[in-house]
């Protein structure tokens, strides 16, 4: 296979990597030019400014993430689960045929309510490639955390939790913010305390107010309160999912470390991948095209 220009175009940032035939990263670049920051909505101009030097004759570029959303460059409709690399390839949205394409996201039905992802599906296939797996539970912490089941190299289904967004709202725009340092480093003891409280089965709405009450009685300091709240929210995910087996974590180290700590309490064995999963996933897609 020839090399690949791999691009992850998200809501707040734009990242790219130039890969060789084997998928090794030759060069990387990034810019604060997420889909909501593209001047005049001119995606083609931003792409050219960032990557034209990589787009030599015969080059292929695959773009994952929110560039395929309704607010992005061109909408790439969701592919329904269960689905694998083949379905993604068949539904690529070509900007320039044979040269630049956007990878579609995936959708899954949760009863009568749909669930969606964009970009995470590529990370999952990349982590599968890196780990040498065809089945497993893949967890992607973040603003909207994903719990994804893979069987036979196909994504069977997934569930999204607004954990990161809830943390932001509660720590910055609620009464909890008055006694809490939202950006404080992890306090492991306070985090595990919140995790244990969540595991007792009480209401999240009630437990969240407990963060305020514990601070009023000087049982939690501002930095501790942040980790306690984080433990409560991540514990809510674990209470619903009940992993209890091997888990692949994909994401930023600051987040995957917390989930690894929480999952260890359930007896799950954890492997972790970061940004490299995106590049490996886009390379796997290219391989499926041949």
Quick one: how many helices (H) and strands (E) in the chain? 9, 14
Task: Give CA separation, 276 vs 15, 27, 53, 182, in Å.
Answer: 12, 13, 22, 28
29 assigned to some structural domain: yes
139 assigned to some structural domain: no
Section 166-181 average pLDDT: 95
Residue 282: which pLDDT band, with cuts at 50, 70 and 90? Answer: very high
Residue 201 sits in the same domain as residue 110: no
145 assigned to some structural domain: no
Share of the chain above pLDDT 90, in %: 95
> What's 89's domain CATH number?
3.30.420.300
Instruction: Report whether pLDDT(66) > 90.
Output: yes
Residue 241 sits in the same domain as residue 172: yes
Residue 49 sits in the same domain as residue 121: yes
Residue 1: which pLDDT band, with cuts at 50, 70 and 90? Answer: low
Q: What is the pLDDT of residue 159?
A: 97
Task: Give CA separation, 288 vs 54, 89, 137, 194, in Å.
Answer: 22, 7, 22, 44
Residue 194: which pLDDT band, with cuts at 50, 70 and 90? Answer: very high
Supply 95's token pair. 């900007």
Q: How far is it, in rounded angstroms, from Cα 165 to Cα 45?
A: 31
Residue 81 sits in the same domain as residue 113: yes
Residue given tokens 């990263």 in the structure block = 25
Residue 283 sits in the same domain as residue 264: no
Sheet of 136-140: strand order equals 154-161, 145-151, 136-140, 247-250, 270-273
In 3D space, the residue among 6, 141, 117 whose CA is nearest the CA of residue 62 turns out to be 6
143 assigned to some structural domain: no
Section 19-30 average pLDDT: 95
Instruction: Report whether pLDDT(2) > 80.
Output: no
Supply 240's token pair. 């619903």
Residue 174 sits in the same domain as residue 245: yes
Q: What is the mean pLDDT of the chain?
A: 96
255 assigned to some structural domain: yes
146 assigned to some structural domain: no
Give me the sign of the Cα torsion angle 47, 51, 52, 54: negative
Q: Are strands 113-117 and 106-110 parallel, antiparallel or unpaired?
A: antiparallel
Question: What's the start-to-end Cα distance of the chain, in Å?
Answer: 8
Instruction: Give residue-wise pLDDT tens across range 195-248.
Output: 999 999 899 999 999 999 999 999 999 999 999 999 999 999 999 998 878 999
Q: What is the pLDDT of residue 193?
A: 98
Instruction: Give residue-wise pLDDT tens across range 128-161.
Output: 999 999 999 999 999 999 999 999 999 999 999 9
Residue 285: which pLDDT band, with cuts at 50, 70 and 90? Answer: very high
46 assigned to some structural domain: yes
Instruction: Report whether pLDDT(57) > 90.
Output: no
- How many structural domains compose the chain? 2
Residue 263 sits in the same domain as residue 284: no
Residue 30: which pLDDT band, with cuts at 50, 70 and 90? Answer: very high
Residue 58: which pLDDT band, with cuts at 50, 70 and 90? Answer: confident
Residue 32 sits in the same domain as residue 90: yes
Residue 189 sits in the same domain as residue 226: yes
Q: How far is it, in rounded angstroms, from Cα 68 to Cα 79?
A: 12
Lowest mean pLDDT among 1-10, 43-52, 185-194, 206-215: 1-10
141 assigned to some structural domain: no
Instruction: Report whether pLDDT(120) > 80.
Output: yes
Residue 185 sits in the same domain as residue 88: no
> What's 202's domain CATH number?
3.30.420.310
Residue 133 near residue 248 (C-beta atoms within 8 A): yes
Residue 173 sits in the same domain as residue 257: yes
Residue 98's domain spans which residues? 4-131+278-289
Residue 265 sits in the same domain as residue 238: yes
Lowest mean pLDDT among 179-183, 225-229, 281-285: 179-183
Residue 263 near residue 137 (C-beta atoms within 8 A): no
Q: What is the pLDDT of residue 3?
A: 87
Q: What's phi and psi for 176, nearest 5 deg?
A: -65, -30
Q: What is the pLDDT of residue 160?
A: 98
């Amino acid at each position: 296979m020839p090399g690949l220009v791999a691009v992850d175009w998200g809501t707040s940032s734009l990242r790219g990597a130039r890969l060789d035939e084997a998928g090794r990263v030759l060069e990387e670049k990034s810019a604060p030019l997420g889909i909501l920051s593209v001047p005049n909505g001119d995606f083609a101009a931003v792409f050219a400014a960032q990557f034209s030097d990589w787009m030599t004759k015969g080059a292929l570029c695959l773009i994952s993430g929110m560039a395929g959303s309704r607010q992005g460059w061109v909408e790439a409709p969701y592919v329904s689960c269960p689905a694998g690399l083949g379905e993604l390839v068949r539904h690529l949205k070509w900007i320039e045929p044979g040269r630049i394409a956007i990878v579609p996201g995936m959708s899954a039905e949760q009863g009568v309510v749909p669930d969606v992802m964009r970009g995470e599906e590529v990370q999952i296939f990349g982590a599968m490639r890196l780990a040498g797996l065809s089945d497993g539970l893949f967890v992607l912490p973040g603003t909207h955390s994903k719990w994804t089941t893979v069987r036979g190299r196909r994504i069977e289904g997934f569930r999204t939790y607004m954990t990161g967004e809830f943390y932001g709202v509660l720590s910055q725009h609620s009464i909890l913010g008055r006694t809490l340092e939202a950006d404080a480093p992890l306090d492991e003891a306070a985090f595990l305390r919140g995790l244990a409280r969540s595991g007792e089965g009480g209401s999240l709405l009630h437990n969240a107010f407990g963060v305020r009450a514990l601070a009023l009685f000087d049982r939690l300091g501002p930095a501790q309160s942040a980790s306690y709240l984080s433990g409560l929210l991540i514990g809510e995910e674990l209470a619903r999912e009940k992993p209890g087996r091997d888990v692949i974590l994909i994401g930023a180290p600051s987040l995957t470390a917390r989930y690894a700590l929480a999952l260890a309490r359930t007896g799950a064995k954890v492997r972790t991948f970061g940004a490299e999963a995106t590049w490996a996933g886009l390379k796997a897609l290219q391989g499926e095209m041949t």
